Amino acid sequence: MATKNPTNLKEPSTSGPTTKSTMSTKPAVPKTTKKNYIRVGVAIVAITVALTQNFFRTASTDLGLFLGDIQPFNTAGCEVVPGGLEACEDIHLHRESGLAFMTCGHAEARKDWFPPMAKLNASADDIAFQDKFVIYNVATGKYEEMELVGLPKGTDRVFHGLGIHERSPTELTIFAVNHRRGGSVIEVLEYTIGDKVVQYKETIRHELIHTPNDILATGPRSFYVTNDHKYKSGYKRDFEELLRRSSGNVIYYSPESTHIAYDHVASANGITSNGDQSLIYLSACYGTGLHILRATPDHTLVEQEYIKLDFYNDNPSYDPETDSVFMTGHVKPLTMVMGLKKKGVQLNGPSKIVKISKDVVSGGHKVETVLEDDGGLISTGSVSAVDQKRGVMLVGTAFSNRGVVRCPIPQGA
Amino acid sequence: MATKNPTNLKESSTSGPTTKSTKATKPAVPKATKKNYIRVGVAIVAITVALTQNFFRTASTDLGLFLGDIQPFNTAGCEVVPGGLEACEDIHLHRESGLAFMTCGHAEARKDWFPPMAKLNASADDIAFQDKFVIYNVATGKYEEMELAGLPKGTDRVFHGLGIHERSPTELTIFAVNHRRGGSVIEVLEYTIGDKVVQYKETIRHELIHTPNDILATGPRSFYVTNDHKYKSGANREFEELLRRPLSNVIYYSPESTHIAYDHVASANGITSNSDQSLIYLSACHGAGLHILRATPDHTLVDQEYIKLDFYNDNPSYDPDTDSVFVTGHVKPLTLTMGLKKKGVQLNGPSKIVKISKDVVSGGHKVETVLEDDGGLISTGTVSAVDRKRGVMLIGTAFSNRGVVRCPIPQGA
C-alpha cells in the first residue's frame, strides 16, 4: 500500500497561520503571499532587464541617443552643389571619364511618396514622381539632367540606388531602382560616354525583388539587388524597425536564375564591391554594420567578415586608390524619421562618413570617421563618392534639399 | 562657402508652438512632448515584450506554472520502500545480479547542507554528513547499508550521483560524488558482487570538477562528470538559475588527461549511456532538455540531437531491453525550491517520468509520460531504474523522506 506519511512531519498547510491574531479581522492577504508576489515581481524585472539590456544599450549607441549636439568635423571647404538638386540618394563615379552618375528627387515630396520609408501617399504632388537622372562632371562642377529616351511619358520616376556595369570603357549599362506607384522595379538604361541622352532599354520586375534599395551590377542583364525590408507597411513593418530584425536579404537576378543570394540581413541597404568583385560590401542599415562577402560561382554570397558600426549606415562606396570603403550614414536616425513627418520644415539630419580599411597589423579592419555634420550643411547623407585624382568627395543625401555637397577630400582620407 | 538655406523653408524650430494660448500660463510640458514620451514608452514596452516573450512563455511551461493540481498517473501498486531510506538521489541497477546501488541521505538535513542547491550551512546537524551507500536486492526487496571500508572515520558523506564501471561481470568500480564540507570530490569505491562491504580506494579532486552532479564511468579510473552550475552561491548563482543560463559543462577525467568534454549546458545534471557507450545521454536540468551525444576518440562529446522537454529533468536511466531512456524530474521546480526553505515541513514535489525512445517513422525520438505524481507519494523524483526481468521500476528522490519508491513497470513503458 502507498505510505504517505512515515514520519511525524506535518503535511504542508494551505490555510493561513493559526497563531492568535490581535486584529479584529484576519488580514486579507497574508504577509508571506505579498512577499512572494514581490519576490516574483523582482525576479521578472531582473530577468527582463538581463535579457533586454544588451538590445537597449546597443540601440541607444546606434541611434545616437546620448551624443548631444554633433560638431561639424572636416566640413571646411564643403559647398552645396548649386542649381536645385535635391535628395540625390546615390552617386556612382566613373573614374576614367570623371563623370558622376546620380539619382535625384524632390526633398519635400519624399515625405509623401517614398516606399522605402513607408511613405505611401499615392496622391502626392506630381513632382514626387519626376525624379532626375543626372550626370555631373567632377572637373568642371557642371551637370546635366539626362533625358531617358524610350521611357514612356508619364512613367513614375522615383529613384533610389544605382548599379553600373561597363560593357566597355565607354559603354555602360545602368540599373536604377524605381519606386513606381505600380510597384518597385529595376530600370535598365544604357549610356555611352559623351552621348547627350541616356537610353531606356527595359524594366525588370521579379517577385523576389520587393523592397529594392541598391544594386551591384555583374553583367549587362545581371545584378545583385538588396531588399531593405520584409514588410512594406503596417505594424509588422513597425516591429521590423523597432526590433531591428534581420529580415532583409540580397537577391541575385539574371535571366537564367534569380534567387536569394544572402539572407537574414538587418536591413540590406547599400551594396558595392571592390575592383574585380572579389569582395562585396553590404550595408546592414539598422543593424548598423558592414558585411564583407564573397560570391560563389553559383552567385550566393558567403560571409567573410562583419564590421559593427555605431550609426545607421546607408551606402558604401569603394575607393580603388586606397582599397578602402567609405561608408555614409545617419548619426541620429530618429531625427531623420521625425523630420520626415514635418511637412514644410527643412530636415537637418546629422550625417557621418567613415573610412573602412584593412588593418595590416591586426589583420582586421579599422574604422575612422573622416567627416561629420550636424545636418545644417550635409543632411541625411547617404553616399560619398571619392575622386582621389581630383581631390573631390561628392556627398549625396537621401532627403535633403541640399541634394549634393562637394567637399575636398579630408586630410588622411 | 557653405550654403545653409537655399530655399524659403524655415529651419526646424526648437521652441514650443507659437499660436496664441488661451490659458493664463503656458502649459508646462507641450502636448507634443508628452505624446512623444508616450510613444517612446510604448515603443520600449513593445520591444521589451517582443524580446522576452519567448523566454517567459517557455519558462512558464517548463516550471509548470499553469498546470494546476497534478493528478497521479500510473502510480497504482507503487509502495515506498520501508525502513527509513530518505533522499536516494541516484540508483544504478546491476542487471546481471539484480542488485541496485543507491546513495541515500537525510531529507530534512538536505535543507541545511547540500551545495548543489546552494545550501551551505556547514554547521548543520551531524546527520547531514552521514549519508548511506545502499545495496538493494530487487527480487527480495531487502537492502543493506554498506560499510565503506578504508574511508577514514568522520569523513563527511554527502552523496549525489553515481557511476559504475564493470572491471569484470562481478568486480565493480563505483564512483560517487561526495559534497564534503572541504570541497566536492569523487570517491572511488570497489565492490565485488557478494561481498559484505564496499572498499574505499581513493578520493579524486580536480580544479575542473567544481560542482559535480553525476558520473558516467568509462574505466577503472576514468569517467565523465557533470558540473551542474558555474557559480556556487551569491548573485551570480541567482542569475544563473533565473536566466537558465548554459554555463555548465561536462568534464572528462583520467590520470592522463582531464579536460572539458562538452560546454555551455543549461545545468548539466544526470548523465548515462547506452550499453556500449556509443551514445551518451545528458540531462540539461534547468534547460529542460536531453542532449544525445557521441564521444570522440579524444574524449570530447559531440552533439547528435537535443530533445526539448517540458519539466526540470534530473537523471536519465538507460533501459537496454527497450533501447530507451527513462528521464525523471521535477514538474514544479518552484515548489521544490520553496519547500527546501521550509524546515520541519514535509516536502511534496510533483514528479514525472518520461520514456524517450526512437521513433522509427520520423527518425527522431518520441517522448511519452509513463508516470506522474503530485508529490504525495513520489516527491522530488530524480531517477527511475527499470528492471524488466522482474517487472520493477525503482524511483529515487532527491529530497524526500520517502527515499525510494518501488513500482510495477507501467503498461506500455
Q: Span B1-28, mean pLDDT?
A: 42
Residue B56 with chain A: CB contacts under 8 Å: 44, 47
**pLDDT exceeds cutoff 90 at A217:** yes
Strand pairing partners for B225? Answer: B215, B251
A229 pLDDT band, cuts 50/70/90, is: very high
**pLDDT exceeds cutoff 80 at A4:** no
* Residue-by-residue DSSP string for B121-173: -TT--GGGGB-EEEEEETTT--EEEPPEETSPTT--B-EEEEEEEESSSSEEE
Q: Please check whether residues B49 and B161 belong to one and the same domain.
A: no
Q: Span A248-258, mean pLDDT?
A: 97
Q: What is the amino acid identity at position B240?
A: E
Closest partner residue to B1 (CB to CB) among A51, A55, A79 is A79
Q: Please check whether residues B40 and B187 belong to one and the same domain.
A: no
Q: Please check whether residues B376 and B335 belong to one and the same domain.
A: yes
User: What's residue A36's pLDDT?
Assistant: 81
Enter the DSSP assignment of A19: S
Enter the DSSP assignment of B73: B
Rounded distance, CA B385 to CA B390, Å? 12
User: What's residue B354's pLDDT?
Assistant: 97
Question: Environment class of residue B18 by beta-carbon count within 10 Å: exposed (0-12), middle (13-18) or buried (19+)?
Answer: exposed
Q: Please check whether residues B88 and B215 belong to one and the same domain.
A: yes
**Comparing B11 with A304, which gets the higher pLDDT?**
A304
B351-358 sheet: strands from edge to edge:
B312-319, B324-330, B351-358, B365-373
Q: Please check whether residues B176 and B306 belong to one and the same domain.
A: yes
Question: Environment class of residue B220 by beta-carbon count within 10 Å: exposed (0-12), middle (13-18) or buried (19+)?
Answer: middle
**Comparing B94 with A18, which gets the higher pLDDT?**
B94
**pLDDT exceeds cutoff 50 at B175:** yes
User: What's residue B18's pLDDT?
Assistant: 41
Q: Please check whether residues B56 and B138 belong to one and the same domain.
A: no
Q: Look at B401 and A9 and tell me if their CB atoms are within 8 Å.
A: yes
B13 pLDDT band, cuts 50/70/90, is: very low
Q: Span A266-281, mean pLDDT?
A: 97
Q: Which of B44, B45, B52, B241 to mutate to test the interface with A (most CBs of A within 10 A)?
A: B52
End-to-end CA distance of chain B: 86
Which is nearest to A58 in space by CA: A309, A267, A241, A303? A309
Cβ neighbors of B150 (< 8 A, separation 6 or more) are B199, B200, B201
Assigned domain for B374 exists: yes
Domain hosting A179: range is 88-408
Assigned domain for B201 exists: yes
| Percentage of chain A modeled with pLDDT above 90 | 87
Assigned domain for A362 exists: yes
* Residue-by-residue DSSP string for B231-282: --SHHHHHHHHHTT---EEEEEE-SS--EEEEEEESSEEEEEE-TTSSSEEE
Instruction: Give the mean pLDDT of chain A.
Output: 92
Tally of domains in chain A? 1
Q: Span B285-295, mean pLDDT?
A: 97
Q: Span B7-16, mean pLDDT?
A: 37
Assigned domain for B3 exists: no
Which is nearest to B397 in space by CA: B337, B355, B334, B348? B348
Q: Please check whether residues B293 and B403 belong to one and the same domain.
A: yes
Rounded distance, CA A105 to CA A91, Å? 13
Q: Look at A376 and B75 and tell me if their CB atoms are within 8 Å.
A: no
Ranking A22-31, B74-83, B109-118, B298-307 by mean pLDDT, the lowest is: A22-31
User: What's residue B411's pLDDT?
Assistant: 87
Assigned domain for B380 exists: yes
Q: Please check whether residues B167 and B39 belong to one and the same domain.
A: no
Q: Span A101-106, mean pLDDT?
A: 98
Could you read off the pLDDT of A360-372 as tens digits, one per residue?
A: 888 889 999 999 9
Could you read off the pLDDT of B114-129 as tens digits, one per residue?
A: 999 999 999 999 999 9
Rounded distance, CA A303 to CA A265, Å? 11
User: What's residue A12's pLDDT?
Assistant: 40
Question: Environment class of residue B29 by beta-carbon count within 10 Å: exposed (0-12), middle (13-18) or buried (19+)?
Answer: exposed
Q: Span A52-81, mean pLDDT?
A: 94
Q: Please check whether residues B51 and B91 belong to one and the same domain.
A: no
**pLDDT exceeds cutoff 60 at A114:** yes
The H or E element that residue A386 is part of is strand A381-387
| A77 dihedral zone (left: phi>0; alpha: psi -120 to 50; beta) | left
**pLDDT exceeds cutoff 90 at A192:** yes
Enter the DSSP assignment of A339: H
A2 pLDDT band, cuts 50/70/90, is: very low
Active-site residue list of B: 160
Could you read off the pLDDT of B298-335 as tens digits, one per residue?
A: 999 999 999 999 999 999 999 999 999 999 999 999 99
Annotation marks residue A206 as catalytic: no
Assigned domain for A64 exists: no
Q: Span B377-398, mean pLDDT?
A: 97
Q: What is the amino acid identity at position B158?
A: V
Whether B369 and B354 have beta carbons less than 8 Å apart is answered as yes
Ranking A23-37, A82-96, B149-163, B308-322 by mean pLDDT, the lowest is: A23-37
Q: Please check whether residues B46 and B104 belong to one and the same domain.
A: no
User: What's residue A360's pLDDT?
Assistant: 87
Whether B374 and B71 have beta carbons less than 8 Å apart is answered as yes
Strand pairing partners for B177? Answer: B186
Q: Span B285-297, mean pLDDT?
A: 97
Assigned domain for B18 exists: no
Q: Span B130-141, mean pLDDT?
A: 97
Which is nearest to B223 in space by CA: B299, B111, B130? B299
Closest partner residue to B239 (CB to CB) among A11, A50, A79 is A50
Global pTM value = 0.76
CATH number of domain containing B190: 2.120.10.30
Q: Span A8-23, mean pLDDT?
A: 41
Which is nearest to A203 in space by CA: A178, A227, A228, A224? A178
Q: Look at A3 and B80 and tell me if their CB atoms are within 8 Å.
A: yes
Rounded distance, CA B409 to CA B413, Å? 7
Cβ neighbors of A240 (< 8 A, separation 6 or more) are A229, A230, A231, A247
Ranking A4-18, A146-160, B63-77 by mean pLDDT, the lowest is: A4-18
Q: Please check whether residues B61 and B160 belong to one and the same domain.
A: no
Could you read off the pLDDT of B39-51 as tens digits, one per residue?
A: 889 989 999 999 9
A27 pLDDT band, cuts 50/70/90, is: low
Q: Look at B50 and A1 and tell me if their CB atoms are within 8 Å.
A: no
Rounded distance, CA B23 to CA B21, Å? 5
Q: Please check whether residues B58 and B186 belong to one and the same domain.
A: no
Reported ipTM: 0.74
Ranking A29-33, B77-81, B250-254 by mean pLDDT, the lowest is: A29-33
Assigned domain for B14 exists: no
Catalytic residue among A160, A165, A299, A330: A160
Closest partner residue to A346 (CB to CB) among B3, B10, B84 is B10
